[in-house]
Structure 1
Amino acid sequence: MAVGRRFGATRRTTTALLTGTIGFLSSVAVAVPVWAQQAPADGYFATPPPVDMTKLLPDSGQPDKKYKQSKGCVQRSTLGQNIVLKNRPWGQDYLQITKAQEIVKAATNGGVGRGVKVAVVDTGVTKHPWLPNLESGGEYVATPTNGQPKGLEDCDGHGTEVAGIIAAKPDNPEVGFIGVAPDATIVSYRQLSENYEPDTSTSTPPASNTAGGTPSSSTTPPTGSGSSLPPSGEGGGGSGSGDGDRTSPGQSNGGRQLEKAGTAGTLKTLAEIIRGIADRKSADVINMSVDNCRTATGSITEGEQQVQAAVHYAALAGIVVVAAAGNATDTCPQNDQPDARKPKTIVTPPWFADDVLSVGAIDQYGSVAPFSVHGPWVGVAAPGTQIISLDPAEGSRGLANLTFESGDKASEIQGTSFAAPYVAGLAALVKAKYPTLDAKGIINRIKETAQHPAAPGGRDNFVGYGVIDPVAALTQSLPSEIGNQAPIPPPQLAQLPPANDHSSTPMIVALAGTGGGVVALLITLFVMRTIRRNRPEEAASRR
């Protein structure tokens, strides 16, 4: 009975230990962040409601309200005026852009992206000698000054840098930077600006001396402006060090937010522009490095419905719609919550992933850029740090790699805003090489040839289907294009034996065997002790 009680106690103790161990391991498993895994196809806030095409707006072709300039426009820095940036951006080498361009040129017997139009819906695009194929699209911020064509003024400097990544074509052979599709045509739409604000006055505001005249290092922003112009008197740097022309005002993480208080640009005018492009067939690709970021509530706003209807309309019209995934800031929290289906932050237009290819950013080490907003809507990723592009200041003939965030603090140009044009440029290359591919086919080719992350289904919420691979996108033979479903990496499941949740026999047998061994050992020790006590020499010694 004593042995039986000990056996029962041993079994209970062992079971308790096993249960505790299993519980600990279970808690560790639960701690794995599911937001880093593939998002479900539907559920909660991550999936927008169905498209409501009654919200589709006609294109008015003009601003939705009256705006006035409130800050000085971007200008050339007085730092290092004669510096020429000769080094290639790391993103060009990482993506093998030169090789991709050679493939397209050989296949088309012509230019790289020639005949393809890319609409840049942004802060406008300033004329630049290294952006030869630039067309006016539309103006939705203010009346153009000095007879400038609509959309070809860029007070912020953001849209010009975006356009440069897509289609810049430097004529200096010593310069390493070049746009992804240098022979493509940029069609510019000025849709927003952080240097303009709603005009609530009844009188016409005075014209700014920076809005289109000759650039000057002594230009002063309007009274009451919060902008800071570049300081003078500091030394520049050599092109080899990466220091070069610097621009001002700054761009917080490279982003431009729609419907931000005190700025120009709404979801309504964005929706109108997209509709107009689709109706006029004025572009093959649309790049939107502009976002509206808000707290997820489980609902959708009217402006979001308008954009959702517009991007769906454009997709049906055969236009590739590309958008920046968004930048995490104090007002746009990162989606790092446990359940990917319940994001803290919703970003539009990327939210409408059925019709929009949204682009996250990676850094020069190949890691996800810390500012790149995560989410189930992320489609692919591209370089978004240490950006070099066209200097957006009026009258500039060079490049920029720095911007002023505040005062005299210079920082690198970065953001998902500059990852998106890499993808838009790639879409232009694919369109040029495969002219019969529709918009869906182009997007599928970019996704299927991306460098898939090690995640279930070959995608995650950081980089989507992976970092783009331009060479593969231009050369790989895809099963989906010949009527077969493209292979998707299957989940790698652990090959474990089946669980035995209902039978305790194996554990009982194991414990019984252990208990029997212990009993046998105790009996053996008892017998040996008894034998030693009965030896004659031991008995004599005791006497």
Structure 2
Amino acid sequence: MHRAAATARAGRDEPLQHVAPRQHPARQLMNGTTTTARLLAATLLAVLVPAAPVAGAQPQDSQPNGTQAEQDAGPTPPPLTDRIKPENDGQPDRPYTRTSVGCVTSLDGNVQLQEKAWGQDVLRFQDLSAFATGANQTVAVIDTGVNQHDYLAGRLEGGGDYVEAGGDGLSDCDGHGTQVAGIIAAKPPSDDIGFRGIAPDAKILSIRQSSEFYEYKPPQGSQEEGRASAGSLDTLAEAVVEAADRNVDVINMSVDTCRAAANVPITASERNLQRALRYAVEEKDVVLVSSAGNIPGPNCREQNNSDPANPRFIVSPPWFSEYVLSVAAVDRSGDPAGFSMHGPWVSVAAPGTEIISLNPGDRDGLVNVTADEKGEQTPIQGTSFAAPYVAGLAALVRERFEKLGQPLTAKQIMERIKITAAHPAANGGHNIQVGYGMVNPVSALTTMIPAEENIPPDEAVEVPFEMPPPHERDWAPVQVAVIGSAGGLGLLLLTLFVVHTVRRQRGDRPDLS
């Protein structure tokens, strides 16, 4: 908003000039003498009797320009009225089969990347190891599975498979989950390799929950609809329960669904997911991180509207912001990425463009492109790759304060990450594009937060505005100087008068010679 400043011009009236009629020289002298005496008397009176000080102009009370808007709250899902734990049988919800396309393999061999990921510099990876590395922390990656990779050697464990019965989660046909895991915990064998994960000593528990390379074909003659991909909100809820029961510290969910918000109450599947998220956070003390969602998508091809109270689309799990840190994507310049879904539930933001991560088809390779089902290569980008930066940060925060003997709960960790983010210039430091802003790992690891120390928040204190007292000028030195000058002037005038009188009398004396 631009404010126009008004400039006032102050004019000053010039005094009128009065011309006196011409007088006789002697009368002029006498009048001049009289006028001088009057001026002298007025001057002495002004000096000897100081004028009363002028009262300082008091500023008017500042009036607000309109009423302050309420902080963006946005629609929230109906609260839970029960504490039911969702059932989990550890099996796919349907018998999926692999499509004829095949799986993602190594992309153009072992690509030699000349630059490290820009997000590592922005988030100051080089400084984080002084505080934490993710040691003794386990991050569950609920995704498309994670392939074995040398940069995860000894720290990757299978946690289950909801795509293919009997799987262990260590098969990634899409490549997506492997790249997500690399952003969290990749640890190269040599310091000469610039790429690394934000929490390079963290463990990864892989649970395969979805895949674009699997489909469901209903039996011949069945009225059931087929599916072009594997995964659902129901299996996501089961995967969350599975990870929580394995006592992980953090769960990363770079998977989400989007639907129209208008006139659609919460569905049974969404309610089941809400129960799973509550169970993980409140009963198992797990930090939950989710991607904010991308556009265009199957059901949401347009950006959400700008009214935080009435979004056009709802994205899950981010909708359940009471339990989830939802992460938007920003680009290299720090601007919200054009594909990042907006919403009042967005918590924070992280790098989501020009991504570098593990090559899912090469055990010791890196990659900065991905391939779709047609084999077409595109740069790696999306909120899916912003979320693991925050999941890894949560692991660092948890480790850091456990080492300090001040362990934090899952909700405290999530709140700390939001409080220490670089807030946007918006009401309450929050907007629907980037939430509370780009995460700041060093600040999240080092800032003292009063609430964690049981220090109550500051209260507003009314501070009255007072002008300083008027300056009382000491007039004594001025009075002495003026009186002395006036006395000297008086003597000068008296002398001139006497001399003039003597000369005049001499000029009027008759000549006796």
Deviations along 1:383-441, whole A, 9 cap, x unmatched?
Answer: 00000000011x43110101234756432100000000000000000011012111011
Deviations along 1:1-38, whole A, 9 cap, x unmatched?
Answer: xxxxxxxxxxxxxxxxxxxxxxxxxxxx9xxxx9xx94
Q: How does 1:182-221 map to 2 (within 5 A)?
A: 182-201=200-219
Match of 2:477?
A: none
Q: Which amino acid counterpart does residue 137 of structure 2 have in structure 1?
A: V
Residue 360 of structure 1 contacts residue 463 of structure 1 at CA under 8 Å; is this kept in 2? yes
Q: How does 1:348-359 map to 2 (within 5 A)?
A: 348-359=316-327
1:69 aligns with 2:34: no
1:367 to 297, 312, 335: 335
Segments of 5+ residues of structure 1 without an aligned counterpart are: 1-28, 105-111, 203-258, 491-543
Question: Shift in Å at residue 276 of structure 1?
Answer: 2.4
Rounded Cα–Cα distance in structure 2 between residues aligned with 1:408 and 1:142: 23
Identity of aligned residues (%): 49
Deviations along 1:443-462, whole A, 9 cap, x unmatched?
Answer: 11111110011111111111
Match of 1:308?
A: 274
**Residue 305 of structure 1 aligns to a residue in which SS?**
helix
Q: Which amino acid counterpart does residue 309 of structure 1 have in structure 2?
A: R
Q: How does 1:288-327 map to 2 (within 5 A)?
A: 288-297=253-262, 298-316=264-282, 317-327=284-294
Residue 119 of structure 1 contacts residue 285 of structure 1 at CA under 8 Å; is this kept in 2? yes
Residue 117 of structure 1 contacts residue 187 of structure 1 at CA under 8 Å; is this kept in 2? yes
Q: How does 1:27-426 map to 2 (within 5 A)?
A: 38-40=71-73, 46-53=75-82, 56-70=85-99, 71-77=101-107, 79=108, 81-104=109-132, 112-132=133-153, 133-143=155-165, 150-201=168-219, 261-281=227-247, 283-297=248-262, 298-316=264-282, 317-330=284-297, 331-393=299-361, 395-405=362-372, 407=374, 409-426=376-393
Rounded Cα–Cα distance in structure 2 between residues aligned with 1:84 and 1:53: 53
Tell me: CA distance 1:260–1:115, structure 2 relative to 1, closer, same or farther (3 Å): farther
Residue 315 of structure 1 contacts residue 355 of structure 1 at CA under 8 Å; is this kept in 2? yes
Rounded Cα–Cα distance in structure 2 between residues aligned with 1:60 and 1:301: 21
Deviations along 1:309-340, whole A, 9 cap, x unmatched?
Answer: 11011110210000000001053144442522
**Residue 130 of structure 1 aligns to a residue in which SS?**
helix
**Bigger radius of gyration, 1 or 2?**
2
**Residue 160 of structure 1 aligns to a residue in which SS?**
helix
Rounded Cα–Cα distance in structure 1 between residues aligned with 2:177 and 2:228: 19
Question: Shift in Å at residue 100 of structure 1?
Answer: 1.4
Instruction: Provide runs of 4+ in structure 1 moved above 6 Å.
Output: none
**Residue 141 of structure 2 aligns to a residue in which SS?**
strand
Segments of 5+ residues of structure 2 without an aligned counterpart are: 1-65, 461-513
Rounded Cα–Cα distance in structure 2 between residues aligned with 1:121 and 1:193: 11
Q: Which amino acid counterpart does residue 161 of structure 2 have in structure 1?
A: E
Match of 1:471?
A: 442
Question: Shift in Å at residue 88 of structure 1?
Answer: 1.3
**Residue 130 of structure 2 aligns to a residue in which SS?**
helix
CA RMSD of superposed structures (Å): 2.3
Question: Shift in Å at residue 101 of structure 1?
Answer: 2.1
Q: Which amino acid counterpart does residue 387 of structure 2 have in structure 1?
A: A
Rounded Cα–Cα distance in structure 2 between residues aligned with 1:377 and 1:487: 26
Deviations along 1:275-316, whole A, 9 cap, x unmatched?
Answer: 2222332x1000000001111134111110010111011110
**Residue 477 of structure 1 aligns to a residue in which SS?**
coil
Question: Shift in Å at residue 68 of structure 1?
Answer: 0.3
Tell me: CA distance 1:89–1:484, structure 2 relative to 1, closer, same or farther (3 Å): same
Rounded Cα–Cα distance in structure 1 between residues aligned with 2:157 and 2:126: 25
Rounded Cα–Cα distance in structure 2 between residues aligned with 1:373 and 1:93: 25
Residue 331 of structure 2 contacts residue 351 of structure 2 at CA under 8 Å; is this kept in 1? yes
Residue 350 of structure 1 contacts residue 358 of structure 1 at CA under 8 Å; is this kept in 2? yes
Q: Which amino acid counterpart does residue 185 of structure 1 have in structure 2?
A: K
Residue 86 of structure 1 contacts residue 177 of structure 1 at CA under 8 Å; is this kept in 2? no
Q: How many residues align?
A: 381
Q: Which has the higher contact order (CA 8 A, sep 6+)?
A: 1
Residue 89 of structure 1 contacts residue 386 of structure 1 at CA under 8 Å; is this kept in 2? yes
Question: Shift in Å at residue 123 of structure 1?
Answer: 0.2
Rounded Cα–Cα distance in structure 2 between residues aligned with 1:261 and 1:485: 52
Q: Which amino acid counterpart does residue 438 of structure 2 have in structure 1?
A: V
**Residue 342 of structure 2 aligns to a residue in which SS?**
coil
Rounded Cα–Cα distance in structure 1 between residues aligned with 2:171 and 2:228: 20
**Residue 236 of structure 2 aligns to a residue in which SS?**
helix
**Residue 275 of structure 1 aligns to a residue in which SS?**
helix
Match of 1:444?
A: 415
Residue 390 of structure 1 contacts residue 399 of structure 1 at CA under 8 Å; is this kept in 2? yes
Match of 2:472?
A: none
Tell me: CA distance 1:338–1:390, structure 2 relative to 1, closer, same or farther (3 Å): closer
Rounded Cα–Cα distance in structure 2 between residues aligned with 1:451 and 1:487: 21
Q: TM-score by structure 1 length?
A: 0.67
Rounded Cα–Cα distance in structure 1 between residues aligned with 2:441 and 2:458: 19
Rounded Cα–Cα distance in structure 2 between residues aligned with 1:471 and 1:334: 35
